[in-house]
Amino acid sequence: MSRTNQLKSFAWSLSATVAIIAVLGWGQGIHWKITHINSYQLFPLFGLLAFSIMWSHYIVSAVRQYLGIAKKELQGYIKITGWIVLLAIVMHPGLLEWQLWRDGFGLPPGNVLESYVAPTLRWAALLGMVSLLVFLAYELKRWFDDRGWWRIIEVATDVAMIAVLIHSLKLGSLLQHGWLRMVWYGYGATLLAALGYIYYRRYEAPK
């Protein structure tokens, strides 16, 4: 098997593995009582999936650059998992805000900040909201990635990824204790390592 095919297998396997871990952590958190599940119980799953698969993108990117394989070789993987991430990052806050609106707590973002999150943690909720806007802006890549200012969006996306890590550790009900929180710490450490290598290759290696 060629290195390119090995990388493709690694990429798909990693994303599938972290997605399974997210589902297992979520299911354990609700004690697998899925017969009468509501939006308050379901929306965390999409947050776990979104972050986990985005994390795998960073790890795969670092490995790809280390192996010297062109990004276009993973075009299919990036496209399919990218759409899954986009769906998850929309569904995560969308389900919560929709359910709060149905329960009479008004429209977003006020319904979340005023009725769902403790005052001392509103900053963490705002981190998530701003990060969502950054991730959605990244979807404009197909039209603007040839512009000189697009690099700012790419850097903002990397910062938003770290912000989401903090957001999830502070607000994620399934991440406050237990094995899944330890997994998230591992994701955080390896994310920072991957980002460090990616930026090294981007700015230092060419010199």
The structure's pTM equals 0.93
- Per-residue pLDDT band for 108 (boundaries 50, 70, 90) equals confident
Distance (Å, whole) CA 165 – CA 200: 22
Distance (Å, whole) CA 140 – CA 157: 12
Domain ranges of the chain: 3-203
What tens digit of pLDDT does each residue of 75-99 get?
A: 999 999 999 999 999 999 999 999 9
What tens digit of pLDDT does each residue of 151-188 get?
A: 899 999 999 999 999 999 999 989 998 999 999 999 99
Across the range 186-207, mean pLDDT stands at: 88
In Å, what is the CA distance from 129 to each residue of 46, 58, 64, 66, 87?
Answer: 15, 21, 30, 33, 16
Written as one string, the DSSP assignment of 86-104 is HHHHHHHHHHHHHHHHHTT
What tens digit of pLDDT does each residue of 11-60 get?
A: 999 999 999 999 999 999 998 988 889 999 999 999 999 999 999 999 99
